[in-house]
């Protein structure tokens, strides 16, 4: 999170004016999209070789300056599927002029952490979508700005949890990529700042140690280091992404431009376990111990309920959409906290639908993903982290798709055959990389904007015609609540609710070609 005004955990000291100035100034340096794309590819490639690591786009453009650091970043992520009751909260906008998609975890029992993540995400979105105070973000008149925030769970063991947020800002004047780690301490029910891993007396020697490690690197800027680490309060502010490796070494990551000249990229340093020990607070020592020797599970004093599979709809039947009226409802960006309810509604109304899934969510909601297919629905690919593919390099586009297909296949045994690029954003370069038919839509409910169930039901009932593909997002409770009336109204009019593949029947859909509706369906 790189907003200079992002709220910090409650105990964090106020940021010094000099640091605010420095950071803000440095953020104005241009980062080429190519550099960012390369970082994503690299992390995606790493993760496919170790599927159990459940790693994500936590890479940094400057990773080349610390090759050993990358491995540690990969190995110390926790599998969200192992956390009972975990939900993913999504905050997104599909507006053509201001696109953002942010996901963060709500860990049962860690309310202070969820709150800190929520505030940080909102602050970043506010800055990005903000009203013309900078040339960055949506107010800067850039072409198709995009903000993408994703997460990794770094630790979830005993009474300690740690979540890293990775922010990618695809505006030309934006800073590009930044990472921040957020902590939860079950002993105090608080979300401590990164600096609270250390004792107050340790900040000065820690600053010295950081300077020693960074001073001799390519791109070192001793004057900048002196400013950023001038006082204990400055050092505390500079510590935004602290974590432990699996063998207890301390890892500290700095965003591009934070502690070295921007072209040198992000910086990563490590302090060996035994050296780190003397710097750590009680919380820091407990965290280090849990990193080395994790408890079998997370114990935050609550008993979360597991996500059980909802009742299954009878499997999809033969429906000939040339002879009967058909509608294909599609639900993007899930699975999420409201998907189970939606599956129940579809089952109660004997309706089928298509779900375009975000790979990162599939990793958490494996049971629900299986339940979608078991109930006769179709699942398609909606990229790993809801990326605007027109902003990604060819290799990135391929990994966004393949990683998601792998997650779905691993959860269900079924590999998707349809893709829907986020925001419906495709161009010739993207098409060339897509090996599946591209399914867009003919009715856009804009439910990300209209959080009003009766409006959404009215609009759909007024607008949809046989053969249409209707766009919803099952990450919104209001969208799910609109569905019963839509199903009942159209069913009474003789419609059938089918999957996208059923809508097209025997028609062969071609890879890389865009489909919006089946114009050959009944009555069109």
Q: How far is CA 190 from the centre of its chain?
A: 24
Shortest distance, position 409 Cβ to Ni ion, whole Å = 21
**By C-beta, is 73 or 387 nearer to Ni ion?**
387
Tell me the number of residues near Ni ion by CB under 5 A: 3
Shortest distance, position 358 Cβ to Ni ion, whole Å = 7
Question: Which residues within the stretch 278-337 sit at the binding site for Ni ion (CB under 5 A)?
Answer: 332-333
**By C-beta, is 144 or 211 nearer to Ni ion?**
144
**By C-beta, is 206 or 434 nearer to Ni ion?**
434
Shortest distance, position 471 Cβ to Ni ion, whole Å = 9
Shortest distance, position 332 Cβ to Ni ion, whole Å = 4
Greatest Cα pair distance, the chain, in angstroms, is: 77
Residue with the two structure tokens 């926790």: 78
Cα 152–95–434 angle (5° rounding)?
65
Question: Which residues within the stretch 363-422 sit at the binding site for Ni ion (CB under 5 A)?
Answer: 422
Known catalytic membership, residue 447: no
What secondary structure does DSSP assign to 406-472, as a single string?
A: HHHHHHHS-----B--GGG---HHHHHH--S-EE--SEE--TTT---HHHHHHHHHHH--TTBEEEE
**By C-beta, is 3 or 148 nearer to Ni ion?**
148
Return the SS3 of 150: strand
Residue with the two structure tokens 């609009």: 459
Shortest distance, position 382 Cβ to Ni ion, whole Å = 6
Is the CB of residue 61 less than 8 Å from the CB of residue 43?
Answer: no
CA distances to 48, 196, 373, 392, 444 from 439, rounded to whole Å, are: 26, 48, 18, 19, 13
Is the CB of residue 497 less than 8 Å from the CB of residue 352?
Answer: yes
Nearest residue to Ni ion, scored by beta-carbon proximity: 332
Other C-beta atoms closer than 10 Å to the C-beta of 247 total: 12
d(CA 300, CA 244): 20
Is the CB of residue 471 less than 8 Å from the CB of residue 445?
Answer: yes
Shortest distance, position 116 Cβ to Ni ion, whole Å = 26
d(CA 419, CA 422): 9
Find the distance separating the first CA and the last CA of the chain, reported in whole Å.
49
Is the CB of residue 484 less than 8 Å from the CB of residue 456?
Answer: no
Dihedral of alpha carbons 412, 415, 416, 422, sign:
positive
Question: Which residues within the stretch 419-438 sit at the binding site for Ni ion (CB under 5 A)?
Answer: 422
Is the CB of residue 439 less than 8 Å from the CB of residue 419?
Answer: yes
Known catalytic membership, residue 476: no
Shortest distance, position 448 Cβ to Ni ion, whole Å = 8
**By C-beta, is 158 or 337 nearer to Ni ion?**
337
**By C-beta, is 361 or 499 nearer to Ni ion?**
361
Residue tagged active-site, from 352, 382, 473, 476: 473
Residue tagged active-site, from 185, 234, 255, 332: 332
Active site residues: 332, 473
Residue numbers of the site for Ni ion (CB under 5 A)? 332-333, 422
């Amino acid at each position: 999170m790189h907003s200079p005004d992002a709220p910090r955990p409650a105990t964090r000291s106020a940021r010094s004016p000099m640091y605010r100035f420095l950071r803000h100034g440095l953020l104005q340096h241009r980062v080429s999209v190519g550099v960012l794309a390369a970082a994503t590819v690299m992390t995606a490639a790493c993760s496919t070789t170790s599927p159990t690591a459940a790693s994500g786009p936590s890479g940094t453009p400057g990773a080349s300056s610390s090759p050993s650091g990358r491995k540690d970043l990969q190995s110390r992520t926790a599998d969200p599927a192992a956390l009972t009751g975990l939900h993913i909260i999504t905050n997104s906008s599909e507006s053509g002029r201001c696109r953002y998609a942010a996901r963060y975890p709500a860990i049962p029992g860690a309310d202070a952490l969820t709150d800190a993540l929520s505030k940080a995400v909102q602050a970043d979105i506010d800055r990005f979508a903000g009203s013309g105070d900078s040339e960055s973000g949506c107010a800067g008149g850039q072409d198709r700005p995009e903000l993408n925030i994703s997460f990794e769970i770094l630790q979830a063991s005993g009474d300690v949890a740690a979540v890293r947020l990775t922010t990618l800002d695809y505006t030309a004047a934006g800073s590009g990529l930044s990472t921040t780690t957020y902590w939860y301490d079950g002993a105090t029910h608080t979300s401590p700042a990164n600096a609270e891993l250390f004792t107050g007396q340790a900040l000065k020697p820690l600053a010295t140690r950081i300077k020693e490690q960074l001073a001799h690197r390519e791109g070192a800027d001793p004057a900048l280091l002196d400013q950023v680490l001038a006082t204990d309060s400055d050092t505390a502010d500079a510590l935004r992404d602290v974590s432990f490796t699996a063998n207890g070494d301390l890892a500290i990551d700095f965003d591009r431009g934070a502690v070295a000249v921007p072209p040198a990229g992000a910086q990563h340093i490590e302090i060996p376990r035994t050296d780190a020990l003397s710097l750590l607070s009680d919380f820091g020592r407990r965290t280090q111990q849990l990193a080395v020797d994790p408890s079998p599970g997370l114990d935050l004093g609550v008993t979360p309920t597991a996500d059980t599979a909802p009742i299954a709809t009878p499997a999809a039947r033969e429906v000939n959409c040339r002879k009967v009226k058909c509608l294909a409802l599609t639900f993007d960006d899930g699975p999420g906290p409201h998907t189970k309810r939606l599956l129940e509604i579809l089952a109660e109304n004997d309706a089928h639908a298509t779900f375009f899934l975000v790979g990162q969510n599939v990793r958490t909601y494996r049971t629900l993903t299986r339940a979608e297919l078991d109930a006769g629905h179709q699942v398609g690919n909606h990229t790993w982290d809801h990326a605007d593919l027109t902003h990604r390099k060819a290799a990135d586009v391929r990994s966004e798709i393949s990683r998601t297909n792998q997650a779905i296949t691993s959860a269900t045994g079924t590999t998707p055959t349809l893709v829907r690029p986020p925001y419906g954003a495709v161009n010739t370069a993207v098409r060339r990389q897509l090996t599946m038919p591209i399914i867009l839509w003919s009715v856009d409910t804009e439910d990300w904007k209209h959080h009003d169930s009766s409006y959404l039901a009215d609009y759909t009932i007024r607008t949809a015609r046989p053969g249409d593909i209707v766009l919803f997002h099952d990450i919104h409770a209001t969208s799910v609540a609109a569905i019963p009336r839509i199903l009942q109204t159209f069913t009474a009019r003789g419609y059938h609710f089918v999957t996208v593949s059923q809508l097209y029947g025997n028609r062969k859909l071609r890879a890389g070609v865009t489909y919006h509706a089946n114009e050959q369906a009944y009555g069109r």
